[in-house]
């Protein structure tokens, strides 16, 4: 296969770059294979209830909305659990930078599937944060005290004892967590399709769980650079 040649590159550089390109092509094939396996999953479990959330309505006032209504005209629903519960002065910086990127993608995702960001804070607080952050295309909804985050691991309250130990969750304590969950509606029945369970899987020492990296532009861009990610982690605000 003919390849690019950049100005003044050495033969050593081109040989190393060609070997890396082959690895990148293999990685692309692996990503496609994993995505195909994901699409081929058997039906997931039926959701235990039609959870009631809260959102800002068309008249700019809070209103309740059922999970079944969050699908809109689609049969697929993506929910991202945002770590911004009422006990937090500021939201999780990792979640926040990810949502910064998702806001731009939301206008396109909405052509194929419904997507909403869910968090435990009251809807007025979430709406105020979205406005301050400049999130103009995303839909934020409040769990409004329902069981969604507990049932679908947007918090740690229903982790097994073994997973609590693995995830360093002390007895008597719980907190919200980041996770994507995807749901499918068919014939009026809503089933869980997939969740980003790597959020709870053990990671190599010093490595973030990377459960959302495939949709996170920040880490993909830094991985292209000579220094890579290093020890950088985003902040909510930079002074």
Within 10 angstroms of residue 182's Cβ, the number of other Cβ atoms is 17
Q: What is the mean pLDDT of residues 173-180?
A: 94
Q: Examine the pLDDT at 207 and tell me if it is beyond 80.
A: no
What residues form DSSP beta bridges with 182? 78, 194
User: Cα separation of 71 and 65, whole Å?
Assistant: 11
Euclidean distance between CA atoms 212 and 111, whole angstroms? 21
Distance of alpha carbon 34 from alpha carbon 26, whole angstroms: 12
CA 62 to chain centre: 25
199: left (phi over 0), alpha (psi -120 to 50) or beta: alpha
The pLDDT assigned to 204 comes to: 80
| Residue 24, pLDDT above cutoff 80 | yes
pLDDT in tens, 99-142: 999 999 999 999 999 999 999 999 999 999 999 999 999 999 99
23 pLDDT band, cuts 50/70/90, is very high
CA-nearest of 194, 211, 174 to 98 is: 211
Q: How far apart are CA 141 and CA 195, in angstroms?
A: 19
Which residues make Cβ contacts (< 8 Å) with residue 124, sequence separation at least 6? 62
Domain boundaries, the chain: 1-40, 52-200
Task: Please list, residue by residue across 101-139, b when 16 or more beta carbons sit within 10 angstroms of its beta carbon and e when fewer do.
Answer: bbbeebeebbeebbbbbbbbbebebbbebbeeeebeebb
pLDDT in tens, 136-171: 999 999 998 999 999 999 999 999 999 999 888 999
Q: What is the CATH number of domain 52-200?
A: 3.40.30.10
pLDDT of residue 37: 98
The torsion region of residue 71 among left (phi > 0), alpha (psi -120 to 50) and beta comes to alpha
Tell me, what's the pLDDT at 150? 96
Give 52-104 pLDDT, tens digit per residue: 999 998 888 999 999 999 999 999 999 999 999 999 999 999 999 999 999 99
Tokens for 77, please give them: 């629903």
* Model pLDDT, residue 220: 94
Q: Mean pLDDT across the stretch 163-191? A: 94
Percent of the chain scoring above 90 in pLDDT = 87
């Amino acid at each position: 296969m003919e390849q690019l040649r950049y100005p003044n590159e050495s033969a050593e550089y081109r040989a190393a770059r060609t070997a890396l390109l082959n690895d990148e092509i293999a990685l692309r094939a692996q990503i496609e294979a994993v995505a195909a396996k994901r699409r081929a999953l058997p039906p997931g479990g039926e959701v235990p209830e039609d959870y009631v959330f809260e959102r800002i309505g068309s008249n700019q006032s809070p209103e309740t909305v059922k999970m079944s209504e969050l699908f809109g005209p689609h049969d697929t629903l993506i929910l991202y659990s945002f770590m911004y519960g009422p006990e937090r002065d500021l939201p999780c910086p990792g979640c926040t930078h990810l949502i910064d990127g998702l806001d731009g993608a939301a206008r396109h995702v909405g052509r194929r599937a419904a997507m909403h960001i869910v968090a435990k804070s009251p809807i007025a607080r979430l709406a105020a944060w979205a406005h301050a952050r400049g999130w103009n295309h995303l839909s934020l909804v409040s769990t409004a005290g329902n069981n969604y985050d507990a049932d679908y691991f947007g918090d740690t309250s229903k982790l097994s004892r073994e997973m609590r130990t693995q995830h360093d969750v002390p007895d008597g304590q719980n907190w919200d967590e980041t996770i994507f969950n995807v749901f499918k509606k068919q014939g009026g029945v809503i089933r869980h399709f997939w969740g980003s369970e790597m959020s709870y899987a053990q990671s190599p020492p010093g490595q973030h769980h990377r459960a959302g990296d495939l949709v996170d532009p920040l880490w993909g861009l830094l991985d292209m650079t000579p220094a890579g990610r290093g020890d950088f982690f985003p902040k909510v605000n930079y002074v």
